[in-house]
Structure 1
């Protein structure tokens, strides 16, 4: 089972992380297993496909999300909302917390370690 491996490679799709990352860049990521996340970390997360459900007690409203295809996003953590939610943004405007609000930390798949190859 692939989830046993601590590392994985992800390909950036789209331009929302430019100028730091570009469409086609390959990234090495460390699988997320509950380690502390920090503002500024670039994370791979499950794409919100409907209204975001925040953990109990979160005070920030999530915005409505138009139906999206399942998949992954690569975004930068712009803020932490308590221990269970985060605000994720692209370095350029795109599909991020400006549209769908904070997301649960549990949607995190991995944390970028370094860029392997530039497209």
Structure 2
């Protein structure tokens, strides 16, 4: 009996450790709004892998906090889901206001797939230190 109990305990502990590691690497975020339509829709849930700016590629769908300034919600915590179009050192796209010719270190340029999205075209550079990660796939759907 003790052998079965010890094996069961080891299995439970291994599962708990695996869940903890997964939680530190992955997050599920619910899309609110239409800025990423037609790729993502309001209410879609996406699996996000935590990443730093050096692990992001142009074209990745990223999840980040909005830059400083007016927030759209009462508590100031709202994730933005946008597409990375320019990374540190890249040329600044012509439709982004800014005196810089290149995206500065610690910043990125992001656009929503919906042309009516509020993104870097209106808000300028998004701070890389507010990056949560890269959206991998829509839950119940295909990779992004």
2:108 & 2:53 partners in 1: Cα distance?
A: 14
Alignment gaps of 5+ in structure 2:
1-19, 90-104
Q: Quick check: 1:102 aligned with 2:125? A: yes
- Alignment check: 8 A CA contact 2:31 2:81 kept: yes
Offset of residue 48 of structure 1: 2.1
How has the CA–CA distance of structure 1 residues 23 and 98 changed in structure 2, closer, same or farther, with 3 Å as cutoff? same
- Superposition pairs of residues 74-85 of structure 1, within 5 angstroms: 74-82=81-89, 83-85=105-107
Alignment gaps of 5+ in structure 1:
51-66
Offset of residue 49 of structure 1: 3.6
Offset of residue 23 of structure 1: 0.5
- Residue of structure 1 aligned with 2:43, choices 24, 31, 46: 24
Instruction: Report the structure number with the largest CA radius of gyration.
Output: 2
Offset of residue 90 of structure 1: 0.3
Q: What TM-score, normalized to structure 1? A: 0.75
2:67 & 2:52 partners in 1: Cα distance?
A: 20
Partner of 2:4: none
Judge which range, 75-84 or 14-23, deviates more: 75-84
Partner of 1:53: none
Q: Quick check: 1:48 aligned with 2:67? A: yes
- Alignment check: 8 A CA contact 1:88 1:97 kept: yes
Larger relative helix fraction: 2
1:80 & 1:35 partners in 2: Cα distance?
A: 9
Offset of residue 105 of structure 1: 1.4
2:108 & 2:121 partners in 1: Cα distance?
A: 12
Larger relative strand fraction: 1
